[in-house]
């Protein structure tokens, strides 16, 4: 166990507070029970040193309580008979584990292994694991199977400008921006419901609280499905994740709240979102933002400061379906038969937002090889670079749909963390590629 509180006691006795992943415990160390050398080690060892302690578990002496008042439940301690020091921690530490930390995010991230020992940070990453576990469980219960697509690729899925080039033997290749093309090819191969949780790389020069250059994308792809079908999969999955966390992981939320309260921040409450989530179509969203007196035109992107206006009405999860085709990638289905006033310019692409922040993009896909080829030409991509992909649609192709969800952003809204760097173990941004 780790020493987490300074040693108390001099002379013949000493108390140390220990912790490991199962909890914390006081050790009572007394001259005579252990050797003089062991007693000295216990009295002088630095915080965060690790020990192996053998001894007997005993009830601690109960605290004094005013007459007539009930005693609190008994507490236990270990009365040590043998102490082995496993590793002495160096001093001073770059940041404290049990004290209030006054250092900035860079120092914390440089020393992430220590930062992680802090209770609320540790809880954050346990919750991250739960999100993935409950998400996986839910999709498997709906008949999805997990796939893994290559991360070394030769063609851009999400536009050619934000690729990280790499040398692949004697040719050029890139780090994958998303599993998009491969999850679709898996569906073309009769794996009708697939999901993937894997890294995506974007060479974007953003420096914001919600962009990283490497992030984990939680993707699905589903045959015989429309945009509406996969939005429903997503809302069921998110609602399941929230409900499982509420039922099973309140202690992790409590650890985060203990810290938030100490920082005078509102504690977080896990409210299971009711389904269906609201749908605010792109056209409605533009109108709503314009009605708030904010300048935005049909065809503009809905940026975070625009979404602030939507968040006044929709503060939690809501979908924004039916984006203009011109704003969506070539693989999205262009709904030319859509008969609204937009003259057939809409697509079956959607986003999921939580308040101001985008969590997901998705949509129904174009499944006709000739239209896909034209779509590539329309956005100045060379169809020859996409032969391996277009070929997948030449021999029968089911209509299909899917989405990609940013895991770090979902954890950010669950835990009230104000920055995705908080929710990624070792974040990668423009300035950071270590540790």
Footprint of ligand AMO on this chain (CB under 6 A)?
158, 178, 180, 202, 204, 211-212, 215, 217, 219, 358-363, 402-404, 406, 408-409, 420
Please give the Cα distance from 307 to 183 (Å, whole number): 30
Question: Closest distance between ligand AMO and the C-beta of residue 408, in Å?
Answer: 6
- Our separate counts of H helices and E strands in the chain read 12, 15
Question: Closest distance between ligand AMO and the C-beta of residue 130, in Å?
Answer: 19
Question: Closest distance between ligand AMO and the C-beta of residue 420, in Å?
Answer: 6
**Would you list the DSSP string of 160-222?**
STT--EEEETTEEEEE-S-SHHHHHHHHHTT--EEEEEEEEE------STT--SEEEEEEEEE
* Residue placing its CB nearer to ligand AMO in the complex, 51 or 403: 403
Please give the Cα distance from 47 to 92 (Å, whole number): 10
Rounded to an integer, what is the distance from CA 409 to the centroid of its chain? 6
Question: Closest distance between ligand AMO and the C-beta of residue 286, in Å?
Answer: 19
User: Do residues 381 and 212 make contact, with C-beta atoms less than 8 angstroms apart?
Assistant: no
* Residue placing its CB nearer to ligand AMO in the complex, 69 or 301: 301
Question: Closest distance between ligand AMO and the C-beta of residue 311, in Å?
Answer: 16
* Residue placing its CB nearer to ligand AMO in the complex, 108 or 409: 409
CA neighbours within 13 Å on the CB side: how many for 366?
22
* Residue placing its CB nearer to ligand AMO in the complex, 208 or 340: 208
Question: Closest distance between ligand AMO and the C-beta of residue 403, in Å?
Answer: 5
* Residue placing its CB nearer to ligand AMO in the complex, 55 or 159: 159
Question: Closest distance between ligand AMO and the C-beta of residue 382, in Å?
Answer: 19
Please give the Cα distance from 77 to 54 (Å, whole number): 12
Please give the Cα distance from 187 to 360 (Å, whole number): 20
Partner residues linked to 2 by β-bridges: 19, 50
Question: Closest distance between ligand AMO and the C-beta of residue 52, in Å?
Answer: 42
* Residue placing its CB nearer to ligand AMO in the complex, 29 or 212: 212
Query: Which residue in the shown chain puts its C-beta closest to ligand AMO?
Result: 406
* Residue placing its CB nearer to ligand AMO in the complex, 62 or 189: 189
Q: What share of the chain is helix, strand, coil (3-state, %, to 5)?
A: 35, 25, 40
Residue 194: C-alpha distances to residues 155, 221, 258 (Å): 21, 5, 39
* Residue placing its CB nearer to ligand AMO in the complex, 134 or 319: 319
User: Do residues 356 and 320 make contact, with C-beta atoms less than 8 angstroms apart?
Assistant: no
């Amino acid at each position: 166990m780790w020493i987490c509180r300074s040693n108390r006691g001099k002379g013949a006795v000493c108390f140390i507070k220990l912790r490991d992943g199962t909890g914390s415990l006081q050790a009572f160390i007394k001259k005579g029970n252990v050797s003089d050398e062991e007693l000295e080690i216990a009295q002088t060892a630095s915080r965060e040193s690790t020990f192996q302690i053998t001894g007997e578990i005993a009830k601690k002496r109960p605290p004094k309580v005013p007459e007539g008042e009930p005693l609190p439940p008994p507490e236990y301690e270990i009365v040590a008979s043998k102490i082995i020091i496993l590793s002495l921690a160096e001093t001073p530490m770059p940041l404290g584990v049990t004290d209030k930390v006054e250092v900035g995010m860079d120092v914390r991230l440089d020393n992430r292994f220590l930062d992680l020992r802090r209770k609320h940070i540790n809880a954050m990453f346990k919750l991250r694991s739960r999100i993935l576990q409950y998400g996986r469980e839910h999709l498997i219960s709906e008949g999805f199977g997990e796939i893994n697509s290559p991360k070394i690729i030769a063609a851009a899925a999400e536009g050619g400008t934000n690729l990280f080039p790499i040398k692949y033997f004697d040719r050029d290749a890139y780090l994958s921006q998303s599993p998009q093309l491969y999850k679709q090819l898996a569906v073309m191969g009769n794996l009708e419901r697939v999901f993937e949780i894997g890294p995506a790389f974007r060479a974007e020069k953003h420096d914001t609280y919600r962009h990283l250059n490497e992030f984990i994308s939680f993707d699905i792809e589903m045959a015989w499905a429309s945009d509406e079908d996969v939005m429903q999969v997503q809302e069921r999955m998110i609602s399941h994740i929230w409900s499982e966390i509420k039922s099973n992981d309140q202690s992790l939320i409590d650890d985060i709240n203990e810290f938030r309260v100490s920082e005078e921040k509102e504690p977080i409450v896990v409210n299971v979102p009711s389904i269906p989530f609201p749908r605010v179509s792109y056209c409605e969203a533009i109108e709503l933002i314009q009605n708030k007196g904010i300048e935005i035109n049909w065809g503009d992107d809905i940026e975070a400061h625009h979404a602030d206006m939507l968040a006044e009405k929709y503060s939690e999860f809501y979908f924004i379906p039916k984006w203009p085709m011109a704003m969506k990638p070539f693989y999205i289905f262009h709904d030319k038969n859509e008969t609204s006033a937009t003259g057939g310019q809409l697509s079956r692409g959607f986003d999921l937002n939580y308040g101001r922040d985008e969590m997901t993009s998705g949509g129904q896909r174009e499944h006709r090889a000739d239209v896909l080829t034209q779509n590539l030409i329309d956005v100045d991509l060379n169809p020859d670079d996409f032969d391996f992909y277009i070929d997948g649609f030449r021999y029968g192709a089911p209509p299909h749909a899917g989405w990609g969800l940013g895991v770090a952003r979902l954890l950010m809204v669950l835990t009230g963390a104000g920055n995705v760097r908080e929710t990624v173990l070792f974040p990668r941004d423009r300035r950071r590629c270590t540790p």
